[in-house]
């Protein structure tokens, strides 16, 4: 019944508001069916980068006469409250908006961010509650960001109302640790890694003083839960920061995921990563559905030079610089150069700017069509919706996670500890996922993707990366150097 009624409301809405998404009715029916069932769905579509999907989803949620929760970003919540609710009222919906909660006579729909969802003690205790979860393609990083703890100097000295003796004890401990960590500093690294004995001593200390603050209590719990932890030294201010991060962030919300029913919305074309992510925790998805977006999907033109050097070759940087300069010559649209290596990224931007001047930007939103944008992968993924579709994307280095980052090192050690293939089960999937997110705009204009990292040709796992770029057409010749 919900499917029929929501279809009628949606039909009425579309008469007054045109849409270019041909699958909008199917999407509305699927959402209605999922809300009525006892199943968990994963819906994949690049349409979730737009706003076309919001109205059919809200119509189904408003008609579904049970309490539900809609997880989305703070910006999306503000957008819905400002731009969409009046249109829904014009369809005949009667509700009262209180903060971020839509109240009907028989039920309510709550809009929450991920942080609010995980911080609300009542929501965590929900059972068989229906939750629509958007932005699921970023869930791993979002969870890490939410749970990550950073203990700063201010957290040791923030309570002047505490006993003087306690404050003095904490000051002495902080300074003692600072001296100890700086004595261990190496010239190559600003990170200090703690051995099991040191972690155990810190765990006992923070447990003893856990009542000092919520931050101290969180650190204590994290240490006793075997979270990854490390110290980062601030050489400029001669201070230190204590970082703690869970190795298995999904286990911290497994109860919430297991006890409730979800509609997961991923803006990836096919989100195989999230399915595997849940499966590792024995959390099954009942049905996976892929919807095409509102543009005609075209094949990405993929070019990989046959004789490209490996990154460990001393001449690699110079060859990359020369090839990037040539690749820009005949390009009239936006060129995007993606690189997570900070030194190489800056060298590329500097060399290109010496030849092409103000056309070259370093992680800034372009204002003209023919500019050259140099950026790291995360910056581009976060800001790509603000930028026109590139005519070509140049990849000097694949986005293999940096082994020098402490959390990656801990993850590798954890995989080795459990006799797992840390490269193919951790580093490679992370790289494929990041590359997939980065190149997806090229499907709109059949743009060119040029991979200059020789490992895609000379390593067996390189073929897995090339196969992951779908749909694509490999080209064997490309001006100006073949």
Task: Give me the pLDDT at residue 167, please.
Answer: 79
Tokens matching residue 175: 């300074």
Tokens matching residue 302: 């993929």
Residue with structure tokens 């703890």? 149
Task: Give me the pLDDT at residue 161, please.
Answer: 59
Task: Give me the pLDDT at residue 63, please.
Answer: 95
Per residue of the chain (482 residues), give pLDDT as tens.
899 999 999 999 998 888 889 999 999 999 999 999 989 999 999 999 999 999 999 999 999 999 999 999 999 999 999 999 999 999 999 999 998 999 999 999 999 999 999 988 877 778 889 999 999 999 999 999 999 999 999 999 876 555 667 778 888 999 999 999 999 888 778 899 999 999 999 999 999 999 888 999 999 999 999 999 999 999 889 999 999 999 999 999 999 999 999 999 999 999 888 988 888 888 889 999 999 999 999 999 999 988 888 999 999 999 999 999 888 887 889 999 999 999 999 999 999 999 999 999 999 999 988 899 999 999 999 999 899 999 999 999 999 999 889 999 999 999 998 899 999 999 999 999 999 999 999 999 999 999 999 999 999 999 899 999 999 999 987 765 55
Under a CB-based contact definition with an 8 Å cutoff, are residues 62 and 6 in contact?
A: no
Residue with structure tokens 């075209």? 298
- Domains, the chain, in order of start with CATH, read 2-138+250-290 (3.40.50.300), 147-245 (no CATH), 300-475 (3.40.50.300)
Task: Give me the pLDDT at residue 380, please.
Answer: 97
Under a CB-based contact definition with an 8 Å cutoff, are residues 389 and 442 in contact?
A: yes
User: Of 332, 441, 436, 325, nearest to 388 (Cα)?
Assistant: 441
Q: What angle do CA 365, 371, 373 make, to 5 degrees?
A: 55
User: Of 169, 140, 397, 116, nearest to 278 (Cα)?
Assistant: 140
Spell 440-449 as b/e; 16+ CB within 10 A means b.
Answer: bbbbbebbbb
Task: Give me the pLDDT at residue 143, please.
Answer: 95
User: Of 379, 389, 383, nearest to 334 (Cα)?
Assistant: 389
Under a CB-based contact definition with an 8 Å cutoff, are residues 213 and 151 in contact?
A: no
- Report the half-sphere exposure of 238 (CA within 13 A, side-chain side): 4
User: Residue 254 carries which DSSP code?
Assistant: H
Q: Is 395 helix (H, G, I), strand (E, B) or coil?
A: strand
Under a CB-based contact definition with an 8 Å cutoff, are residues 411 and 227 in contact?
A: no
Question: How far apart, in whole angstroms, are the C-alpha atoms of residue 205 and residue 111?
Answer: 40
User: Residue 195 carries which DSSP code?
Assistant: P
Dihedral class, residue 135 (left if φ above 0, else alpha if ψ from -120 to 50, else beta): left
User: Residue 262 carries which DSSP code?
Assistant: E
User: Of 17, 23, 13, 16, nearest to 62 (Cα)?
Assistant: 13
Question: How far apart, in whole angstroms, are the C-alpha atoms of residue 252 and residue 245?
Answer: 12
């Amino acid at each position: 019944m919900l499917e029929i009624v929501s279809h009628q409301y949606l039909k009425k809405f579309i008469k007054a508001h045109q849409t270019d998404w041909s699958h909008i009715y199917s999407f509305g029916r699927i959402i209605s069916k999922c809300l009525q069932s006892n199943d968990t769905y994963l819906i994949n579509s690049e349409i979730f980068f737009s706003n076309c999907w919001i109205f059919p989803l809200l119509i189904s949620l408003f008609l579904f006469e049970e309490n539900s929760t809609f997880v989305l970003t703070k910006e999306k919540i503000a957008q819905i409250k400002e731009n969409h609710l009046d249109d829904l009222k014009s369809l005949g919906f009667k509700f009262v908006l209180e903060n971020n909660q839509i109240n009907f006579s028989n039920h309510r729909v709550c809009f929450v961010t991920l942080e609010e969802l995980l911080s609300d003690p009542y929501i965590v205790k929900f059972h068989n509650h229906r939750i629509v979860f958007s932005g699921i393609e970023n869930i791993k990083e979002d969870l890490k960001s939410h749970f990550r703890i950073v203990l700063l100097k201010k957290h040791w000295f923030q309570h002047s109302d505490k006993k003087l003796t306690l404050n003095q004890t904490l000051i002495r401990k902080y300074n003692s640790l600072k001296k100890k960590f700086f004595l261990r500093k190496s010239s190559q690294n600003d990170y200090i890694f703690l051995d099991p004995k040191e972690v155990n001593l810190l765990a006992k200390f923070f447990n003893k003083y856990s009542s000092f603050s919520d931050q101290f209590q969180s650190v204590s719990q994290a240490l006793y839960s075997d979270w990854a932890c490390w110290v980062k030294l601030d050489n400029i201010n001669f201070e230190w920061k204590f970082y703690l991060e869970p190795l298995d962030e999904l286990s911290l919300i497994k109860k919430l995921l297991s006890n409730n029913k979800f509609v997961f919305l991923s803006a990836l074309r096919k989100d195989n990563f999230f399915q595997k992510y849940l499966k590792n925790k024995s959390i099954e998805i009942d049905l996976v559905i892929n919807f095409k977006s509102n543009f005609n999907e075209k094949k990405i033109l993929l070019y990989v030079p046959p004789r490209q050097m490996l990154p460990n070759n001393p001449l690699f940087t110079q060859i990359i610089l020369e090839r990037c300069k040539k690749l820009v010559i005949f390009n009239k649209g936006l060129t995007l150069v993606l690189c997570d290596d900070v030194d190489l990224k800056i060298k590329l931007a500097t060399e290109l700017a010496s030849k092409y001047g103000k056309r070259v930007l370093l992680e800034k939103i372009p204002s003209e069509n023919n500019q050259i944008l140099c950026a790291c992968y995360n910056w581009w993924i976060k800001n790509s919706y603000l930028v026109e579709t590139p005519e070509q994307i140049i990849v000097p280095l694949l986005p293999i996670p940096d082994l020098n980052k402490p959390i990656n090192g801990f993850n590798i050690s954890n995989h080795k500890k459990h006799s797992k293939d840390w490269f193919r089960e951790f580093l490679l999937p992370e790289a494929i996922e990041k590359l997939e997110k980065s190149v997806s705009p090229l499907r709109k204009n059949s743009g060119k993707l040029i991979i200059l990292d020789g490992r895609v040709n000379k390593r067996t796992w390189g073929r897995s990366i090339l196969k992951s770029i779908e749909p694509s057409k490999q080209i064997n010749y490309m001006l100006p150097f073949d």
